[in-house]
Structure 1
Amino acid sequence: MHNLHNMEPQSDEEWQIEEGIPQVDDPFIQQYMRGRSSLILEEQKQRHDCNLTKALPPTAAKACNIISRVRDRELHQLSSSSGLDDARFPEAKSLDWDRVQKTKLWRIIKAMPKGSLLHAPLHAMINVDFLIEVAFATPGMCVLATQPLTSQSDLDEKAFIFQYSLAASKDMEDRPTVWSSAYEPSSLIPLRKAASSFPNGGENGFRDWLRSRCVPQAGSENYHSRAIPLVNSLLSYEPILRACLRHVFAWLRSDGIRYVEFRTTFTFPYRKEGEDIPEEGHSDWCHVFREELARFQGTQEGQGFYGARIIWACPRSLSKRDIVENMKDCILAKYDYPDTICGFDMIVDKDDQHSLTDLVPILFWFRKECSAEGLDISFCFHAGESLRTGGDQGLFDAVLLGARRICQGLSLSQHPLLIELIKEKKILIECSPLSDEILGLTDGIQTHPLPVLLSRGVPVSLGTNAPGLLGEPNDLTRQFWQAVQGINSMGLTGLAMMVENSIRWSCYQDQPSAEWLSDLREGILGEGTKASRLQEWYADFEKFCQWVTEEFAEAEGEEQD
């Protein structure tokens, strides 16, 4: 024991040699390390942004490093000041957006050119306070409900919609309001009378209640069933539709978006300004949409805005007969305004509804009718909208029915065969992680399947599916910011690849399948509209990267690297 005590301690290297442990520079260990590096590189080739990362010009590569450095520094500062273990995963309902919008990362993401917005429910794109003000400022607006709204559960869930009626606004002042048990179901009540007689605080209370019906409630999944009828009933009257389109176009352009495809339902009769009698069908709605788009593109702020089109969304909760009538309405609108309607979707709006499988015969009929009229209306289906077991069967139908894009696809990561089919068939997945969290579909960015899909090379673009909890639109800047700060592997190249996808999968014009797939394969090297718009975006992206390197290099110590 005495001799052992006086022995000099061995170095780690001497101990390893004595024990016969191989050294790092031994040939077979070096061979292992080379194999390991090759395996990592082989896996990285499957990532969605692999090719873009390899092809980055020096300025863009420099901007990527700066943005990563800015993100890491601000995350550390946010974690330290807020007492969070990891500021990557703040809950959407508790996130201080005012503070976020003062950060350098937000400023960078806000300035980034964002291509196309392909997942944009029109009812979710309008600032709720703006919409309420427009409704109150519009003469002749009335409200109606399918039953008296006398309890809190009635106020929370029962149908309540708007309708223009000049006659009703003048002649029905003495009728019981919707808040009275004596109210006659579906009778029209002037908006201002309904507001002033609201039992919980008069007009101010009514406005607050209306806001609550139009915005997501934290952890609640029934936002769309509450908001769609209410908002779309307002958008079925010409003056309100025009005002909201002008508002939304300007807001989109200010967020760096150059093209948008709105989803909206057409279940309310459309009325022209001052007309009590509604129009047949929705061709006049499309006419107004086209007029307002052209007007905006002719303004200074609308310069560079490529355009907007409509994905006709039909609620699955309708009866099959009503679905067929809705499809006929879509075909007529497409025939009259082919440049406005670009796609068709079957949306989930209530718990009791048809599955896509139930609707396959009707969807085949719809496709046959379109073909007979010489019309091309592509399928862009909602599918895989829940992480729960059994909520993913629509993914199989969406693939088999030839959908060009799938909205949400939350459960896709659980289906390895479908993932490979979607990549093979070049189907885009429209993801909205921030909206999914707000709607209670996921717990946050850390449980969202987006990182898994990206790592498997699935083409994805980011969109928005709901307004913020305060009624403000969830712009792409918010979606991009959450992705880049919440996903460790996400950087500027990841965002850029999703923007490129949004442009490649845009329905700028009607295309038969062969031409559509050819454009997707050729990308920026093609000769069509998509190729030229990809070229324009990359030119804008290079200018953006140059701005990042000049604006943030010194602040982030870039010159020292």
Structure 2
Amino acid sequence: MAVPLQRPHVVCLLLCCLTSCLSIPDPRQRDALIHLEASMQTGGQVVLSDAEQRLDALLFKMKQEETAKEDFPPAMHFFKARDLIKGSPIFSLLQKMPKGGALHLHDLAIVDVEWLVKNVTYRPYCYMCITDNRSIRFIFSSQLPKPLQRCSPWIQLKHLRAKMVNVTELDNSIRNNLTLYTDQEPEAVYPSQDVVWEAFEQKFLALWGLVMYAPVFREYFYQGLSEFYMDNVMYVELRVLLAEIYELDGSTHDSAFTLRTYQDISREFKANHPDFFGVRVIFSIHRGVNASVMTGAVEEAMKLQKDFPDIMAGFDMVGREDSGKPLWDFREALSLPAERGVPMPFFFHAGETNLQGTEVDQNLLDALLFNTSRIGHGFALPRHPLARDLSRRRGVALEVCPISNQVMKLVKDLRNHPAAGLMSEDHPVVISSDDPAMFGASGLSYDFYEAFVGFGGIRSHLGSLKQLAINSIRYSSLTPQQQEEALAQWQTKWNTFVSENAF
């Protein structure tokens, strides 16, 4: 795995400058400092070809115009900025750009909810009920399902729509229950982290009954891959809960069946799209479980890793860090693979918090103690200098999800995101989109826009984008040989992209 280059010459130059500060500053030293600092950022040492330089000049002009606008999208809540971003020429270019891989995604939030509403909820035997807290649940069943606790009686959507004059109103209501996105004032709808996280988790519960129905599951995953493929993403790593897939008669399948289905659909998609490199999954469990359940999950993950080595990448915990148990509470379960000599890569969510000094705030250090391969979010990393140094030296990349961090109320203005500082020193970083459908986004381009325009400011350039795409392959769970194959495939796409857009 690539480790950022150390630059001792930078320190030497700075020392020389400091020792000469008693004299009048030399403009040449100033220029050298500016140049060296720029070279330290992500992509700062990427040498651009003539064609890449022409495209970079075009991008720079676009960015100058973008940053001069009164309504600057990265400074706004994404729900307000989305349509502005859609109209941006930078965004249009990023959509065409081969972005490599998306390494931080969750299984139930990768498909546009419009597809679920129009394609899935209109299928036969789709039942819905309304919970006490005004959320909704779905299930497909050949007969009237058993009553669900704290939910209204089940009603088949086909019959409900037949009784309604305005079906569009129902569809809009269902859509609103499957995504956090709102055209109302987002700060008023979600005034705190507690409120937005509660809504977030309720919407995932609503999605479960739609997505995990066997016929839908296959189509859903294929559709998700299609949406990322159309956004010029060639490889995907997906956090999956491996929940039971169920049939119309109520029977269910085990986690091995679910994983095998992911594998089959991935192979089918790749056969139909030979330039798509593939999929790997990270088996995940909610961090709110007890120690016994966690032990069982790690045991299961080790077995699945052995049975499905091609698609199984490793293990993680999901759910809100602030209200969940810290990693250290599960140290016995998480130590099992090492104790048994079983290779089990970890990809821990850690540092997705702005609470300092709590047990949860130590997750970053604990993740590194357990030799995590990457860090999910890592928002708190700048507050942990030791963890930052360790992750840099070990080449442990942060999976940065800009829109997610903003919508979940960790940061308001994306220019102030901690990753901006980390990218200025070329800390290992990959950009991903976490739960794009939940945020009213799709694919990876929206998050790339926020990172490129918001984090990077005027200084980031085409080399930054190129390095981020390369990072997404270099820091993936692919074997070194697979990484080289993927990079060669990506390079071909990149060359075509540059030649078609460098005017």
Instruction: Give the TM-score, by structure 1 length.
Output: 0.75
Q: Structure 1 346/87 Cα, relative in aligned 2: closer, same or farther at 3 Å?
A: closer
Structure 1's unaligned 5+ residue stretches are 1-27, 179-183, 510-518, 520-527, 551-561
2:354 equivalent to 1:387: yes
Q: Distance in 1 between matches of 2:499 and 2:484?
A: 23
Whether contact under 8 Å (2:73, 2:85) holds in the other structure is no
2:121 equivalent to 1:121: no
The aligned counterpart of 2:8 is none
Give the residue type in structure 2 aligned to 1:214: L
The aligned counterpart of 2:95 is 110
Whether contact under 8 Å (2:101, 2:472) holds in the other structure is yes
- Secondary structure (helix, strand or coil) at the match of 2:411 reads coil
The aligned counterpart of 1:66 is 58
The aligned counterpart of 1:32 is 26
The aligned counterpart of 1:11 is none
Structure 1 or 2, whichever has the larger Rg, is 1
Whether contact under 8 Å (1:503, 1:534) holds in the other structure is yes
The aligned counterpart of 2:468 is 498
Q: Distance in 2 between matches of 1:195 and 1:393?
A: 50
Q: How does 1:38-77 map to 2 (within 5 A)?
A: 38-52=32-46, 55-76=47-68
The aligned counterpart of 1:211 is 175
**Deviation at residue 333 of structure 1 after TM alignment:** 3.2
2:244 equivalent to 1:269: yes
Q: Distance in 1 between matches of 2:295 and 2:28?
A: 61
Q: Distance in 2 between matches of 1:331 and 1:238?
A: 25
**Deviation at residue 501 of structure 1 after TM alignment:** 0.5
The aligned counterpart of 2:416 is 447
Match of 2:260 among 280, 283, 287: 287
Instruction: Give the TM-score, by structure 2 length.
Output: 0.84
Whether contact under 8 Å (1:141, 1:164) holds in the other structure is yes
**Deviation at residue 416 of structure 1 after TM alignment:** 2.1
Q: Distance in 2 between matches of 1:483 and 1:252?
A: 18
Whether contact under 8 Å (2:78, 2:403) holds in the other structure is yes
Whether contact under 8 Å (1:431, 1:463) holds in the other structure is yes
Whether contact under 8 Å (2:322, 2:353) holds in the other structure is no
Q: Distance in 2 between matches of 1:447 and 1:540?
A: 32
- Secondary structure (helix, strand or coil) at the match of 2:436 reads coil
Give the residue type in structure 2 aligned to 1:417: L
The aligned counterpart of 1:7 is none
- Secondary structure (helix, strand or coil) at the match of 1:166 reads coil
- Secondary structure (helix, strand or coil) at the match of 1:544 reads helix
Q: For 1:380-403, what per-residue CA distance to the aligned partner results, in whole angstroms no more than 9, with x for missing partners?
A: 011100223235311011111101
- Secondary structure (helix, strand or coil) at the match of 2:234 reads strand
**Deviation at residue 139 of structure 1 after TM alignment:** 3.6
2:444 equivalent to 1:476: yes
**Deviation at residue 313 of structure 1 after TM alignment:** 1.3
Q: Distance in 1 between matches of 2:314 and 2:156?
A: 35
Q: How does 1:303-342 map to 2 (within 5 A)?
A: 303-342=274-313
The aligned counterpart of 2:495 is 542
Whether contact under 8 Å (2:382, 2:388) holds in the other structure is yes
2:373 equivalent to 1:404: yes
Q: How does 1:429-468 map to 2 (within 5 A)?
A: 429-467=398-436
Q: For 1:14-69, what per-residue CA distance to the aligned partner results, in whole angstroms no more than 9, with x for missing partners?
A: xxxxxxxxxxxxxx9677334434444444443232221xx222221221111111
Q: How does 1:52-201 map to 2 (within 5 A)?
A: 52=46, 55-76=47-68, 79=69, 83-84=70-71, 89-95=75-81, 97=83, 99-143=84-128, 149-150=131-132, 154-156=133-135, 161-168=137-144, 189-192=154-157
Q: Structure 1 336/275 Cα, relative in aligned 2: closer, same or farther at 3 Å?
A: farther
Whether contact under 8 Å (1:59, 1:542) holds in the other structure is no
Q: Distance in 2 between matches of 1:255 and 1:403?
A: 29
Give the residue type in structure 1 aligned to 2:460: M
- Secondary structure (helix, strand or coil) at the match of 1:464 reads coil
Q: For 1:124-175, what per-residue CA distance to the aligned partner results, in whole angstroms no more than 9, with x for missing partners?
A: 2111121233432444444568xxx34xxx115xxx5434432435xx7xx7
**Deviation at residue 530 of structure 1 after TM alignment:** 1.1
Whether contact under 8 Å (1:64, 1:491) holds in the other structure is yes
Whether contact under 8 Å (2:321, 2:352) holds in the other structure is no
2:228 equivalent to 1:252: yes
What fraction of aligned residue pairs are identical, expressed as a percent?
Answer: 20
Q: For 1:503-523, what per-residue CA distance to the aligned partner results, in whole angstroms no more than 9, with x for missing partners?
A: 1011224xxxxxxxxx4xxxx
Whether contact under 8 Å (1:263, 1:310) holds in the other structure is yes
Q: Distance in 1 between matches of 2:129 and 2:309?
A: 34
Q: Structure 1 246/211 Cα, relative in aligned 2: closer, same or farther at 3 Å?
A: same
**Deviation at residue 414 of structure 1 after TM alignment:** 1.8
**Deviation at residue 247 of structure 1 after TM alignment:** 0.9
Structure 2's unaligned 5+ residue stretches are 1-21, 191-195
Residues paired across the two proteins, number: 467
Q: For 1:231-282, what per-residue CA distance to the aligned partner results, in whole angstroms no more than 9, with x for missing partners?
A: 234332211111101211111111010000111223x4322x4442212x21
Whether contact under 8 Å (2:381, 2:388) holds in the other structure is yes
The aligned counterpart of 2:215 is 239
Moved more, 28-37 or 319-328: 28-37
Give the residue type in structure 2 aligned to 1:405: R
**Deviation at residue 122 of structure 1 after TM alignment:** 1.9
Q: CA RMSD in A?
A: 3.0
**Deviation at residue 195 of structure 1 after TM alignment:** 5.3
**Deviation at residue 468 of structure 1 after TM alignment:** 5.7
Q: Structure 1 197/542 Cα, relative in aligned 2: closer, same or farther at 3 Å?
A: closer
**Deviation at residue 88 of structure 1 after TM alignment:** 5.4
**Deviation at residue 499 of structure 1 after TM alignment:** 0.8
Whether contact under 8 Å (2:127, 2:138) holds in the other structure is yes
Whether contact under 8 Å (1:115, 1:502) holds in the other structure is yes
Whether contact under 8 Å (1:113, 1:257) holds in the other structure is yes
Q: Distance in 2 between matches of 1:314 and 1:131?
A: 24
Q: Distance in 1 between matches of 2:450 and 2:59?
A: 14
